[in-house]
């Protein structure tokens, strides 16, 4: 009798302990649910997710709050990057304007019809660091000290040039008397006018200039005969009737020539108005073999005065000034270059930060 009773007792105790354990678990769950509801609907994450995150087998899924916070982090990052973008763009704009390309506005008609009033041209400042100035180039130069009172401009070192470019970018500094003309004679050339047909000659070789002279304009109404000194240039406008150029400054220092050091760069393209857009090439008359005729032949060249006689009394001569334009073009080029540079440095910085978080690989 005692055996069956003894064997049933442990069974009853086991069943009782199991019932007690389930009840306790239910009570604990109810209490946790109540606490969660009282504390703001924040329930603990399942143990499986915690274990997986601890073991590194799976990344925990971001909460809704983290997902909502991501756009804010991107927005904050953009505003952090904006000052860097602006600084890089301004730096590039100054560099481009000082050393590479600058836009100029044409306010006069002494280079017509090649350049008309209100044309905007781009000037290449790099080209004369790679080659010499050629006959036929249209050059922008500073007339101070040669045609106008002042000191002949001298290019400083790159830091001085950058400081001047930075100052002019914001309206400071002295830009000088900036002019634009076509190069007719380079150092050592004998430039004269006129031969028997009324043409300008270079080293005794006549120039056929009809392709770029103003329609009906004679090559020159005044006579001259000069050997261009070393380091200087003889320049003339394409509208010879109304161009104040080397011919009209023969009594100035240099005999009307300008120093090569005063040249800012070569005008190579008209960018505005769009209807006038075109490249400014060297005319074909200057592409023939270089005029290397003897100076004796050039000195003896001289024909009759061209029809039309002397310069009309009281004619207004235009000096073909080239006014620097606003800062829109260098700034646009600066931002165009700054955007990819800023994007690259941002990507590099992110990759470096990711590698630091991951730590060294073993």
Q: What is the pLDDT along the chain (362 residues), one digit of tens a residue?
A: 444 444 444 444 343 333 334 444 444 445 544 454 444 444 444 444 444 444 444 444 555 544 455 555 454 566 777 787 788 888 888 888 888 999 999 998 999 999 999 999 999 999 999 999 999 999 999 988 888 777 777 776 777 777 777 677 666 666 678 899 999 999 999 999 999 999 999 999 999 999 999 999 899 989 999 999 999 999 999 999 989 999 999 988 888 999 999 999 999 999 999 999 999 999 999 876 655 544 433 333 333 333 333 333 333 455 555 656 556 666 666 666 666 776 777 777 778 878 877 776 65
349 phi and psi, to 5 degrees? Answer: -65, -40
Three-state secondary structure call for residue 319: coil
Please tell me the distance from the alpha carbon of residue 126 to that of residue 348, in angstroms, as a whole number.
31
Which residues are CB-neighbours of 167 under 8 A, at least 6 positions away? 173
CATH class of segment(s) 101-308+317-325: mainly beta
User: Domain map of the chain by residue range?
Assistant: 101-308+317-325
Check residue 258 and give its pLDDT: 94
Strand 190-193 versus strand 200-202 pairing type: antiparallel
Check residue 164 and give its pLDDT: 77
Check residue 115 and give its pLDDT: 96
Please tell me the distance from the alpha carbon of residue 63 to that of residue 145, in angstroms, as a whole number.
73
Check residue 314 and give its pLDDT: 32
Closest CA to 233 of 204, 266, 270: 266
275-279 contacts: CB < 8 A, separation 24 or more?
A: 276/116, 276/119
Q: Is the pTM of this model over 0.85?
A: no
Check residue 334 and give its pLDDT: 63
End-to-end Cα spacing for the chain: 72
Region at 106 (left for phi over 0; alpha for psi -120 to 50; beta for the rest): beta
Please tell me the distance from the alpha carbon of residue 338 to that of residue 355, in angstroms, as a whole number.
26
Catalytic residues: 110, 181
Closest CA to 323 of 178, 181, 182: 178
């Amino acid at each position: 009798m005692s055996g069956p009773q003894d064997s049933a007792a442990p069974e009853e105790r086991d069943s009782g302990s199991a019932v007690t354990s389930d009840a306790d678990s239910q009570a604990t769950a109810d209490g946790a649910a109540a606490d969660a509801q009282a504390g703001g609907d924040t329930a603990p994450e399942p143990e499986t997710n915690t274990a997986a995150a601890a073991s590194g087998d799976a990344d925990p899924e971001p909460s809704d709050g983290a997902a909502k916070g991501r756009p804010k982090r991107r927005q904050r990052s953009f505003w952090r990057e904006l000052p860097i973008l602006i600084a890089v763009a301004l730096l590039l704009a100054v560099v481009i304007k000082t050393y590479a390309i600058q836009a100029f506005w044409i306010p006069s008609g002494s280079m017509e019809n090649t350049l008309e009033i209100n044309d905007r041209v781009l000037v290449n400042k790099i080209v004369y660091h790679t080659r010499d100035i050629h006959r036929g180039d249209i050059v922008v130069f500073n007339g101070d000290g040669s045609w106008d009172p002042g000191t002949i401009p001298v290019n400083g070192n790159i830091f001085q040039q950058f400081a001047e470019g930075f100052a002019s970018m914001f309206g400071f500094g002295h830009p000088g008397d900036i002019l634009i003309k076509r190069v007719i004679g380079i150092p050592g050339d004998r430039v004269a006018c006129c031969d028997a047909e009324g043409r300008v000659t270079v080293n005794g070789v006549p120039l056929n200039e009809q392709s770029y002279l103003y329609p009906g304009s004679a090559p020159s109404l005044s006579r001259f005969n000069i050997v261009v000194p070393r380091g200087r240039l003889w320049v003339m406008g394409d509208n010879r009737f109304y161009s104040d150029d080397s011919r009209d400054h023969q009594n100035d220092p240099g005999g009307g020539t300008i120093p090569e050091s005063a040249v800012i760069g070569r005008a190579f393209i008209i960018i505005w108005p769009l209807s006038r857009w075109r490249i400014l090439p060297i005319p074909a008359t200057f592409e023939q073999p270089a005029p290397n005729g003897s100076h004796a032949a050039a000195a003896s060249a001289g024909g009759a005065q061209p029809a039309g006689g002397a310069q009309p009394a009281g004619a207004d001569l235009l000096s073909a000034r080239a006014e620097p334009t606003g800062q829109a073009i260098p700034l646009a080029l600066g931002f165009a270059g700054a955007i990819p540079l800023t994007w690259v440095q941002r990507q590099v910085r992110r990759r470096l930060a990711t590698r630091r978080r991951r730590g060294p690989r073993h």
